[in-house]
Copies of this chain bind each other. A is one copy, B any other.
Amino acid sequence: MAPPAKTSKRHAAKTTKKAPTVKKTRPNVGGRPRDAKMVYYFGKTKAEATSDMKQLVGGKGANLSEMTSIGLPVPPGFTITTETCAKYYEGGKRLPHGLMNEVHQNMSLVAKEMGREFGSKDNPLLVSVRSGAAVSMPGMMDTILNLGLNDEAVEGLANVTGNRRFAYDAYRRLINMFGDVVMGVGHEVFEKAFDKIKIKYEAKTDNDVPEHGIVELAEAYKTVYRKAVGDEFPQNPSKQLELAIEAVFKSWNADRAISYRRLSGITGLTGTAVNIQAMVYGNMGDDSGTGVAFTRNPSTGENKFYGEFLINAQGEDVVAGIRTPQPVEEMPKWNAKVHDQLLKIKGTLEAHYTEMQDIEFTIERNKLFMLQTRTGKRTGAAAVRIACDMVREKLISEEDALLRIPAADLIQLLLPSFDEKSKPKNSVLTRGLPASPGAAVGKPAFTAEEAVERSHNEAVILVRKETSPEDVDGMHSAVGILTSTGGMTSHAAVVARGWGKCCVAGAGEVHIDAKKGTFTVGGKTFKRTDTISIDGSTGEVMSGAIPTVEPKLSGDFAKIMRWADKYRTLLVRTNADTPEDSRRAREFGAQGIGLCRTEHMFFEGERILAMREMILAETKEAREAALDKLLPFQRDDFIGIFTAMKGLPVTIRLLDPPLHEFLPHEPATIKEVAKVLGVPAKKVEQRVAQLHELNPMLGHRGCRLAVTYPEILVMQVRAIVEAMINCQHNKIKAMPEIMIPLVGVAKELGMLRKLVEQTIHDVRAENDIKSALNIKIGTMIEVPRAAITADQVAEHADFFSFGTNDLTQMTFGYSRDDSATFLPEYVGQEILPADPFQQLDEGGVGELVKMAIEKGRDANDLLKIGVCGEHGGDPSSVHFCHAAGLDYVSCSPFRVPIARLAAAQAALMHDR
């Protein structure tokens, strides 16, 4: 996708990032020498980075620096650039020469600002080391806290804070995290040691363990470390720092990070930045705490400060979902001053960024520190509401509002929700937190692996105590996620919202026995075979499959759509084959049908029989007799669709798939069909075998059928024209457009067009219609050769419609049915930026599209051009279509609103 060219406000581009897409060119990086500055400082002395330098210093680093600049309380620190990470990999996983020098210079600055000294046994400077790529990847990258502690410094920390328990707790956390993240020692071995201590001191929670227990624990952790690593925990703080930086770099290519990038479609990044920042402590006692919050509700969009905090805890405790935190509304009871301060910061941040922010903060002994701000992930519904609210609040313009709603996220507003009216009594088992909206119905799966495996055959809901980054594959496979612990900002909640997947979090009454494969709630036990329903908008967990209802376009959503229609120039049509779909698409704003497939119409009841009779016929006459039976069905189908579309254009594609798709393939069905048709089973078998193709995708289909069996085309055209005339008699306007598929040679279209025109003429004559019927005749451009020879094809066409599905298959030589064996690897290894069947391949398929448009319009300047592949509902592809100068896109009914918004965004970004 082309980068946003011009936007009316400074931050518009940033906030319309369409989550996964990242610019390849780094705006502030281009031309930088490879041995340039590797470290950027932020603190009172200076704040070197700004928020538009995310590509270089990562999102977290950029915003820490930016917050520092606008005067918010941020502990000082510095950022190692993403380029340094790239250099690390280029150099065969070695820290670039000179890096540690720069690091130490910046450490000195931090030490000076903090009045502490790194590695000092008196007043030691402790730091956190965190990853931070240009695109936020929640929980994906590793973090180390309290770095700088050793056997001596811990005593210094105890002295200077006057809190020995705290100092040793910090030390044991460092050993644990360092062991886990840097040395790969399993977290569980540390947990085991902790459990022993807790038993010894009869402590229920971590906080119940007394000071000497914690001191003992630190010693126990060192033993665990020594046993697992085969070496002592490093006592040299500089060595700790160096190893930690390297561990962050390494985590960039950890399986789970690669997996997250693949699932989220994130490509084009060079690596992660590393943020090193002076530690502040939320776990210094009951006057300390930590929290995460959104400046508005990320689930509904309501303009209300929204978050959670934990008293006497470090930040990781909130995100990990281990302890269930309190909502920020409760904070005034604990510390009203800090709460006021946070509300003020909310205002400052929103005014500065003109966007809803997701923040992390820590209160150290009643003093507030900001540790992170970033644009907050939100649901589609929240995106719509926030955008509309901010226009009302005069924070942003209408154009900005349109630009910052990820068009694809609208799908969430179009998903069905549970029907309150038909919800059975007593079906609600319990209520958790409404972590991510949606209505999911499925059977419970208790591990991520199980969810992946079973999801191929059935809808599963992943039921877990909590989720962790290792679970992302399973979370992605499930239709919904249910956790028994964790809050609205837990891993499960954040990831689910990011994907627009239904999630109920922290449903504490749900007791899970993962080993047995059951969960119990309110005395009822549910197995893998039981169906449950979860409502991510209410937090309800229900037994059975609750019926759903369709969404409506209303309120803010309708407003966004009206604004979109004001700015877009691209028309949006729909792909619909039934009156029902046609009606729904019109409600969603479709301006016509761009693709009405006729083959689906041949599968029901008597029709499939007549169809099979036609295929089995051995003479043209017998074929025509069978087609005569199909004619009334087809005609009625078209009458239904024309009526539903109320005069909007309806592009009807003539029969496309190979004939064998209509024949039975199982011996039993073959016998049955033979019996009904009164022919020997042998004959049906022979015909099935005869029609078998090695590569049906490249076989006898599309207009090739019309060339060899023109009578099929004649029947279909007759049905269309008769339906049109029938509608006219009933004062219903019908505007059919006849589309001939799979044309590769101009003469094919020329010949078939003549036949269509002749048939129209014949039906007109039979019905004594004097006036001309306005029926456009065109073709799909889906064979590369048609694009290459579009000038010749255009001479016979009133319109082109790009069938980008098949065009992608043939341009790449990928069979959509078979490419799953290698395409994920292609995307994972970044050979391709995205699955070309989801996102139009601009470099290849797009070139053909542009070539065809140019040649086609040169030859025929009245040519109307659209797209009717599934790409018509993909926002980045819609941008391409707009830029390429198409007249319309056509997509499935539920994607019509997405296409409308994407078309507006394209117009705003490309044409201003």
Q: Which residues of A contact B (CB under 8 A)?
A: 693-700, 704, 707-708, 742, 744-745, 747-748, 751, 782-785, 788-789, 792, 806, 809-815, 817-819, 821-822, 825-826, 829-832, 841, 843-845, 847-848
Contact A825 B707 (CB under 8 A): yes
Contact B700 A698 (CB under 8 A): no
A695's nearest neighbour on chain B, judged by CB, is B815
Contact B815 A699 (CB under 8 A): yes
Contact B747 A813 (CB under 8 A): no
One complex includes copies of this chain to the number of: 2
Residue in contact with A696 in the complex, picked from B694, B699, B707, B806, CB distance below 8 Å: B694
Determine the chain B residues whose CB is within 8 A of the CB of A784 once the complex forms: 784, 810-811, 813, 844, 848
Contact B822 A707 (CB under 8 A): yes
A818 CA to B814 CA, complexed, in Å: 18
Question: Can you list 23 residue pairs at the A/B interface with Cβ under 8 Å?
Answer: A695-B818, A696-B818, A697-B698, A698-B818, A699-B815, A699-B821, A700-B818, A700-B819, A704-B822, A707-B822, A707-B825, A707-B829, A742-B813, A744-B814, A744-B844, A745-B826, A751-B829, A784-B848, A785-B813, A785-B844, A788-B844, A788-B848, A810-B810
A765 CA to B373 CA, complexed, in Å: 53
Contact A847 B809 (CB under 8 A): no
Contact B847 A788 (CB under 8 A): yes
Contact A811 B785 (CB under 8 A): yes
Shortest Cβ-Cβ A-B pairs, 10 listed: A698-B815, A695-B815, A785-B844, A694-B817, A699-B818, A693-B818, A783-B813, A695-B697, A784-B784, A700-B821
Determine the chain B residues whose CB is within 8 A of the CB of A812 once the complex forms: 744-745, 783, 785
Residue in contact with A832 in the complex, picked from B694, B745, B822, B825, CB distance below 8 Å: B745
Q: Report the minimum CB–CB distance from A821 to chain B (whole Å).
A: 4
A912 CA to B27 CA, complexed, in Å: 54
Are A817 and B695 also in contact (CB < 8 A) when A748-B831, A784-B810, A785-B811 are?
Answer: yes
Determine the chain B residues whose CB is within 8 A of the CB of A847 once the complex forms: 788-789
Residue in contact with A813 in the complex, picked from B744, B817, B830, CB distance below 8 Å: B744
A829 CA to B847 CA, complexed, in Å: 32
Contact B811 A708 (CB under 8 A): no
Contact B707 A815 (CB under 8 A): no
Q: Beyond A698-B698, A699-B819, A788-B848: 13 further Cβ-contacts under 8 Å?
A: A693-B817, A694-B815, A695-B696, A695-B817, A695-B818, A696-B818, A700-B818, A745-B831, A745-B844, A747-B830, A785-B841, A785-B844, A806-B813
Determine the chain B residues whose CB is within 8 A of the CB of A845 once the complex forms: 785
Contact A697 B694 (CB under 8 A): yes
Q: Report the minimum CB–CB distance from A475 to chain B (whole Å).
A: 26
Q: Report the minimum CB–CB distance from A550 to chain B (whole Å).
A: 34
Determine the chain B residues whose CB is within 8 A of the CB of A698 once the complex forms: 695, 697-698, 809-810, 813-815, 818-819
Contact A751 B831 (CB under 8 A): yes
A698's nearest neighbour on chain B, judged by CB, is B815
Q: Report the minimum CB–CB distance from A232 to chain B (whole Å).
A: 35
